[in-house]
Structure 1
């Protein structure tokens, strides 16, 4: 055997034992053997080789017979403890094995780092991943979650999950924290008018232009329904908080929009339905518009307002217990999971009825771009309006962040029951397609909103860290701003996601 200085090519590292017992997965072995005979057969012709054997603790072996083989210069157990080594090779073998151990540790850390990164991404974007999985499962097993399917989703999901979502919202709303924002009336009026009136009417005008094209008319009206929805309570508040905006203003306006939207959104939609372009929608109903409207309001009150009110009453009566339970059982994640079940049910029905086959792929592609464009355009518009340099009008940076998210985010949880109440599955094709624009918009608002959070957070931080001309005044202002910024970052509102 050679006595040259140790390098990577000097030794052959082999494993002796069952492959299932091999704990040193990070080490690349030259060969693996399950018994002594296989090893001896291998080394018969290896007269010039220097072999280091790693032994499994679960295998019985005769170490004496191995030592007699001149090619074997060292024997280690699977914990890399030396059992035997040729005296003249001790230094080289030790150096070689230390290098192997270091490589093993580096690979372990690298694998752990990659795993932690993957888990971090999954935790951050688990809702979007869940959205894709729910659509995939709906495609593979459509008969489970479809309307009239095995679980009767028209009752268990489209009513049960929606009631559960808003009940959790009611349990999660911390009313006392909203007191300081009640008198900010100018901000509240602006947000409500923009979200529930300006937004839907402008999108309605855009939809009339789209109606002149060959795009599917049901999808076009689905865009109108999407635009008429109030903001999602959780999404707008969480985005506002993460961007260091006025989260309490965001929460109050999201709640106010949900209550007003229960009555105003159906009224606006019925107004738009009177256009002759969308006659096919009203003809699918069994009753007149007035009765339909009262029917829709009744459904929305039972599925949205009543659970929200009951949840809030329970929260006010047993605040401490509810806060503990909310944290213990992760209400935010439960809420998102319930929303994914609703999406799964919608797509199960769509795939089971073959409604997707009637839509041209170009229409879906256009819908994705239109929804993304609407979100970005209306985000920029509301920021510009909120920051107009007009005396007694211009809102602060923190208020502007809350205004933007509350003004452009739309509530998927409210949209699904409203569509159900509008048609009661009297026309399955229309009921299948109407939610698609809202589902796509909900996905895009999460993706684009994540980017907006980063940009707006940088804007807020830059504003609060901006130095003034006077050094003494600068120290005072910067200190106050940093304190305010830290306070905002430390405060949390736990709202169902």
Structure 2
């Protein structure tokens, strides 16, 4: 009897696969809906608007993002990823050296071509920002990469970023280089760092440390809450709210109307180019394709580690970037701040879209290491379950042994008491 058809799984209908693919892009769709809402109702999410988004989003939303990050970053993963100095050097080098230099080159070229100086200045500021938080770890996980390495890179980048980003902006955007209109602040960096320390410590480092501490004290309840409440998706949605707030300011202040169409088009294309160039450069540096030799083999990172750096290296975080721009240009009008934020929010949307495209491609490229890692993880979990089962059996046998021993002791004590009684009776006789 032919049982081939009976053992084959039914093929998923095409419409269901299409709906599943669309649902998987929920973050991108949510961002599009929020941008449309910002266009229709700009005064709801603008600074000073109905929801007072400069507090509810820039403070409250960002604080929740980093609290969730602290609750989500695996402590074991952070410990295992910390010794990977080579990866830290590569990630920090691209985040705070290569990306800022590339953004400065593109921004200066656009400014010299007569494009809007504030939009181009925002491109330069965006280049020096730290990597994003939620999407890096989730994209690395989806591609089968090392989430341990992605977690530690996110933590290190966002710890250093609030201190390095203002310095880079001040270094690049100087009057001597033709950036007098877009230079941050009007004096030294001290007032800027004071504001950064006040706001970002309260909304960034503080919540993240609190989350890590809570996770350390209550690891199992936190893991359960993280799964039940889908905290990763909550953090991604809160990040989209930061984009919504920035677009609300842009639409309310007329930033898209006062900035030339050429500036916006140039910004969009250069954002795509920057992400692709940085991704390609990270790949070349960590994999050294086509280069033989022992030294190259020692330097070359595994595919899973490479995946983490391919997502962390080019990415920029709007959760830190939006308040950073607001602090750097606190003395400027809302219209100027909105123009400076355009590069950040456009880059954020494009990097989310690019991640959705490259995740399946990178997973296919690293399929051998991903399959080996998943098999090892499955074997480790199976061994843990076996050990747990044996441990429970051992406990039961131990309890049974203790019970038997207790019964023997009680019988012995009873015999001893009976002997004592017999001896006393014998003496009386």
2:132/2:317 contact within 8 Å kept: yes
CA drift at 1:403? 1.8
Q: Assess if the C-alpha contact under 8 Å between 2:46 and 2:246 holds in 1.
A: yes
Structure 1 residues 426 and 488, CA gap change in structure 2 (3 angstroms): farther
The CA distance in 2 between the partners of 1:297 and 1:203, in whole Å, is 26
Q: Does 1:162 align with 2:62?
A: yes
User: Paired residue for 2:373, among 484, 488, 494?
Assistant: 484
1:164 positional shift: 1.3
Label 1:489 to 1:132 Cα distance change in 2 as closer, same or farther (>3 A).
farther
Aligned residue for 2:204?
Answer: 304
Deviations 1:394-415 (A, max 9, x none): 2222222222211111111111
Residue 275 of structure 1 deviates from its aligned partner by 4.0
Query: 3-state SS of the aligned residue for 2:299?
Result: coil
Taking structure 1 as reference, are residues 139 and 202 closer, same or farther at Cα in structure 2, changes over 3 Å only?
closer
- 1:127 is aligned to 27
Which structure is richer in relative contact order (CA contacts within 8 A, separation 6 or more)?
2
Give the corresponding residue for 1:419.
Answer: 325
| Alignment map for 1:243-282 (pairs within 5 Å) | 243-276=143-176, 277-282=178-183
Aligned to 2:4: none
Matched, 1:333 2:233: yes
Determine the C-alpha separation between the residues in 2 that align with 1:286 and 1:230: 24
Query: Per-residue CA shift, 1:376-426, capped at 9, x if unaligned?
Result: 111111111112234432222222222221111111111111111112363
Cα distance between partner residues in 2 of 1:209 and 1:486:
50
**Which residue of the partner structure matches residue 114 of structure 2?**
214
Asked if the contact 1:143/1:149 (under 8 Å) is kept, the reply is yes
Residues 241-283 of structure 1: per-residue CA shift (max 9 Å, x gap): 2222222111111111111112112211121222442212347
Query: Contact 2:66/2:208 (CA < 8 Å) preserved in 1?
Result: yes
1:371 aligns with 2:260: no
Q: What secondary structure does 2:112 align onto?
A: coil
Instruction: Tell me the residue number matched to 1:290.
Output: 190
Alignment RMSD (CA, Å): 2.6
Q: By how many angstroms is 1:310 displaced?
A: 1.2
SS of residue paired to 2:313? helix
Q: Number of residues paired by the alignment?
A: 365
State whether residues 266 and 297 of structure 1, in contact with CA within 8 Å, keep that contact through their aligned partners in structure 2: no
Please name the residue that 1:449 is paired with: 355
Q: Distance in 1 between matches of 2:186 and 2:165?
A: 21
What is the CA deviation profile of residues 47-82 of structure 1, one whole-angstrom value per residue up to 9, with x for unaligned ones? xxxxxxxxxxxxxxxxxxxxxxxxxxxxxxxxxxxx
The reply on whether 1:431 has 2:337 as its aligned counterpart is yes
* Greater mean alpha carbon deviation, residues 317-326 or residues 294-303: 294-303
- Contact conserved, 1:230 with 1:410, CA < 8 A, in 2? yes
Per-residue CA distance 1:104-149 (angstroms, 9 max, x = gap)? xxxxx99x95763454133211111111111111111122111111
Which has the larger Rg?
A: 1
Higher helix proportion (structure 1 or 2): 2
Q: Is the 8 A contact 2:134 2:236 kept in 1?
A: no
Residue 485 (structure 1) shift: 4.1
Asked if the contact 2:143–2:360 (Cα under 8 Å) also holds between the matched residues in 1, the reply is: yes
Counterpart pick for 2:247 among 323, 347, 350? 347
* 2:100–2:124 Cα contact (<8 Å) kept: yes
Deviations along 1:10-29, one digit per CA (max 9) or x if unpaired, are xxxxxxxxxxxxxxxxxxxx
1:89-100 aligned at under 5 Å gives the runs: none
Q: Which residue of 2 aligns with 1:183?
A: 83
Conserved in 2, the CA contact under 8 Å of 1:240 and 1:247?
yes
Greater share of strand: 1
- What's the CA shift for 1:488? 6.0
Distance between the aligned counterparts of 1:482 and 1:143, measured in 2? 50
Q: 1:330 to 1:402 in 2, by over 3 A?
A: same
Q: What are the ranges of 5 or more consecutive residues in structure 2 without an aligned counterpart?
A: 1-9, 382-429
Partner SS for 2:179: helix
Q: Please tell me whether the aligned partners of residues 235 and 409 of structure 1 are also in contact (alpha carbons under 8 angstroms).
A: no
Partners of 2:100 and 2:128 within 8 A in 1: yes
The one-character-per-residue Cα deviations of 1:328-385 (angstroms, maximum 9, x if unpaired) are 1111121122222222222222212222110222221221111001111111111111
Write the distance in 1 (CA, Å) between the matches of 2:377 and 2:274: 30
- Unaligned runs of at least 5 residues, structure 1: 1-108, 465-480, 493-497
- Distance in 1 of aligned mates of 2:226 and 2:380: 17
Is the contact between residue 138 and residue 348 of structure 1 (CA under 8 Å) also seen in structure 2?
yes
